[in-house]
Amino acid sequence: MDYEHALGADADVVKRIFPDGVARLWGSTPTQQTGNAKAVALRDRKVGDEVLFYAQNTFIARARILGLLHNRDLAAAVWGVDEETQSTWEHIMALGDVVEFQVSAQPILTALAMTPPLRSLTLVRAAERRRHLRLLDEQVPATAKRPSGEGGTATSARTMGRGELLRALGTLEADVPGERRTHHGSLTLLWAIGRLVSGEDRLASADVYRSQLEPMLEEFSAPGVSVSLEYPFRHLSGSGLWDVVATEWRRPDPLSSAAFVESGAQAGLRREAARLLQQPLARAEAIGLLCTTYFENVDQEALLERVGLGGYAHATGAGEGDGERDGRDVPTRPNGRRQVTSSRPDRDQRLVNRVKLLHQHRCQVCGLRLETRFGHYSEAAHIKGLGSPHDGPDTLSNLLCLCPNHHVQFDTLAIFIDEHWNVRRSKDGQAVGPLRRLPEHAIDEQNVEYHRALCGGSRYSAARN
Ligand SMILES: [Zn+2]
């Protein structure tokens, strides 16, 4: 804490609210008057109230008050003192996550019976908060939506569910016209997930983004699309998935990403999102959803490889490719690349034979029994791949009996099995047909769910259920 010396009696409360040592503070100068809006706001504001940041008739961000300090030394240390008036921003608010959006201010102010603010901040009472959040929700584009948190301190921050994570991932750039979408936000998120998987810090500085992310954005962007730090340091913070934090106690200017960058700010996945993405299924879902939603026309295998998530491009995972094909013809991928062949996990050949015999070599997707001169031919496919990072089990309940065509489609994540055992195309969710099942061959639904996650199958669940 650079300003620890100035905290004085407030040290405990500030450390409790911001255990990371990174604080979001906003100060106000004192007023001599007693009846004006500012005096009333300073007097009446409480922890739990919400602050709306205001500029040019637009609300641009909101944050909840987590703590109130009156500390002139701290304000002087952080922001300095006005030379003329000798005043400083001594009425300090400790703020929760700043959520950015852009909403015309007037309808909100009218609905809450507030006068147009003259200042850059508008205060909303805790009691009115639910109502104003609903009003905001009606006006804020889907990308900036973020369900309200309950609980007034950082330690009681609400947990984020898988559904919320997927909704947020699925609605990036929803308010941007199609031709102007850069997919830089989704690329940045994929890159961040790759960092998470390789055990790197959740937050990264502008230097890291410049040296690592920017070249990648250039590589995977359409020609002529300019690359900047606007995504990691500005646009993504409205997604509900992303944190931008000042490393020094400077007043963040919510209008400018450059200011964040210059102040040595760091950005990365929100702690709650990062925690969820540590779970294998949620991570598979997130990666599958990002790939199928935003990168249809991109070489996803190359992209995932680039961000350190190569194993997620294929149902079998890394290292299992050739063996999965039962030692027979190894398919060359559509893009000409061959799969990794080294150190494939051992698979139990007896289980492979058993699943084929149970189904008498009949494909569980299309029913085909492929004839050869030497009898029928089928292949055994692991549902949750044995290779890394999937690490599926080598069991009968994790195997399917497929024809070679459907085996290729299943492994390349082109088809998945939905919650009702229908086979669907990942591209558009279109039904291929019911999976053919046998009573004596139980299939583990968790493995099916995992494979579906890799295929981005969650995109179609909501619409059907
Ligand atoms: Zn088939």
405 CA → ligand 1 middle, Å: 6
377 CA → ligand 1 middle, Å: 11
Span 36-90, pLDDT tens digits: 767 777 777 777 777 777 666 677 777 778 778 888 888 887 777 877 778 887 8
Q: Where are the beta strands (DSSP E) in 147-216?
A: 203-205
Q: Which residue has the tokens 């906003």?
A: 26
337 CA → ligand 1 middle, Å: 24
- Whether the CB-CB separation of 90 and 29 falls below 8 Å is answered with yes
179 CA → ligand 1 middle, Å: 38
Whether the pTM exceeds 0.75: the reply is no
- pLDDT score of 236: 86
**CA 23 – CA 21 distance, rounded (Å):** 6
75 CA → ligand 1 middle, Å: 69
Which of 90-104, 132-146, 434-448 has the highest average model confidence (pLDDT)?
434-448
C-alpha distances out from residue 272 to 110, 186, 455, Å: 34, 18, 24
- pLDDT score of 323: 42
Percent of the chain past pLDDT 70, that is, above it, reads: 75
Measured over the CA atoms of residue 79, residue 80, residue 83 and residue 86, the dihedral's sign is positive
Span 166-189, pLDDT tens digits: 989 988 877 777 777 788 889 999
407 CA → ligand 1 middle, Å: 7
Q: Where are the beta strands (DSSP E) in 119-184?
A: 121-124
- pLDDT score of 150: 31
Domain chopping of the chain, boundaries:
1-153, 159-311, 314-335+346-464
364 CA → ligand 1 middle, Å: 7
What percent of the residues of the chain are helix, what percent strand, and what percent coil, each to the nearest 5? 40, 15, 45
300 CA → ligand 1 middle, Å: 24
Tell me: pLDDT of 351 over 90. Answer: yes
Tokens of 29: 């100068």
327 CA → ligand 1 middle, Å: 19
Kindly report whether the peptide bond that precedes residue 177 is cis, defined as omega within 30 degrees of 0: no
**CA 398 – CA 390 distance, rounded (Å):** 12
Closest CA to 449 of 425, 419, 429, 427: 419
> How much is the mean pLDDT over the chain?
79
Tell me: pLDDT of 153 over 60. Answer: no
409 CA → ligand 1 middle, Å: 9
408 CA → ligand 1 middle, Å: 10
414 CA → ligand 1 middle, Å: 13
340 CA → ligand 1 middle, Å: 25
Banded pLDDT at 275 (limits 50, 70, 90): very high
